[in-house]
Amino acid sequence: MNIVVQKYGGSSVSDTNKIKFVANKVKNKVYEGYKVVVIVSAMGETTDNLIKLANEISNKPHPRELDMLLTTGEQISVALLSMALIDLNVKTKSLNAFQAGIFTTSDFTKARIQKFKVSRIINLLKENDVLVITGFQGITEEGDYTTLGRGGSDTSAVAIAAALNSECEIYSDFPGIYTFDPRKYPDAKKLKFVTYDEMLEMSSLGARVLHSRAIEVAKKYNLKVYCASTFTEEEGTYVVADNIENPVVTGMSVMENQTQVTITNIPFNHDIIYNIFDKIAQKGFNVDMISIININEKLNVSFTIIEEEMENFDNYLKEALNDLQVTYEHGYAKISVVGIGMRTEKGVASRFFKALEDIPIRMVTTSEIKISCLLEKKYLDIATRAIIKEFEL
């Protein structure tokens, strides 16, 4: 069988007219000789509205029950799309995670896919031209529904494509992946190719194109992923192992709402540092841009977190500090450039800091293919334009 997996995001199926448009797009793929597995997200803002409902009922919705609620959104989408395909005389069946046999861990609201009943999907494809399967969700061995976290439908699509050894196409509002968010900078350039490593960095740094877990799976199985627009025929972007174009800087990402946390006068004892970060990790918080400075045998530790986590973070951090002094500085943004060309090209850091020479920088982190810096949000527009100009993004 010639199988392709297509994923359509919530904006692509946000109303019945768009669902009918997607149905025609899928039908055309069938006419090209493919068996199509379609992964669908919930319609439009459905997931946000369900979360709002849950929060109106409970200040802290139980994770299992929240997943039970959230999985209903995708079931609406797959049923409606299946109906539209059947009206187009396409032999179709819709499946939820239980029916498709998508098994995950039992980490409610952030589960990970463990295995599929691949034979069931293959057998159903022999009987049908299209299977429309709920994205974003799975089931545990005990039969409880789980969700994969925001952007989880990408992971569903890539994981199923890997299991079926098939092509994978991700459709959204955008005709591909850009050097920078085109909503913020309309002149951003569309990329024809981007590597797994670049996409992982860009996703972790705030580029909301592909879910990072989906990219991890694609990289593990060397699966080429095609990202394009649902509503145009414009050529999209291929996420691949190697980029033959090999640009020095492929793209730029921005994360706003950053808070700098600084703990001062810590005794020169690495067990204390370990204990602080271990307790933070146990509570599920992600910290970034860590800096440790030794001043007269006392350590000052700084790192960043997102502002949305501040309320709970402050309480947990106090438990770990044992009366150490901590300060919070708000209103920062992180700006990053990413490119596999940095591995071999000299002078990239020099060009980066030259572009930002008139802007106060608070913290810096680097990797083999990334440079990030923390700055006040009031400088963000100037900084982004300077970097775009310097690296011709």
Domain boundary among the residues 207, 240, 273 is at 240
Q: Are residues 262 and 163 in the same domain?
A: no
Same domain, 285 and 211: no
Distance between CA 316 and CA 310 in Å, rounded?
A: 10
* 231 plus 258 within the same structural domain: no
Residue 354 lies in a domain: yes
Residues 259 and 232 in one domain: no
Q: Of 205, 221, 240, which residue constitutes the final position of a domain?
A: 240
End-to-end, the C-alpha distance of the chain in Å comes to: 41
What is the pTM for the complete model shown?
A: 0.85
Q: Is 159 a member of any domain?
A: yes
Which domain range does residue 333 map to?
A: 251-391
The reported pLDDT for the residue numbered 281 is 79
- Same domain, yes or no, for 231 and 139? yes
Same domain, 226 and 351: no
Query: Which tokens belong to 25?
Result: 């797009």
Is the same domain home to 135 and 264? no
Please report the pLDDT score of residue 322 as a whole number.
66
Same domain, 331 and 369: yes
Looking at residue 181, its pLDDT comes to: 85
203, 218, 240 - which closes a domain: 240
173 lies in the same domain as 26: yes
Neighbours of 360 (CB within 10 A): 8
The number of domains in the chain is 2
Sequence-ordered list of residues with C-beta below 8 angstroms from that of 117, at least 6 positions apart, any chain? 100, 101
pLDDT for residue 225 = 95
- 199 & 328 share domain: no
What residues in the chain have per-residue pLDDT under 70?
Answer: 205-208, 244-245, 311, 318-322
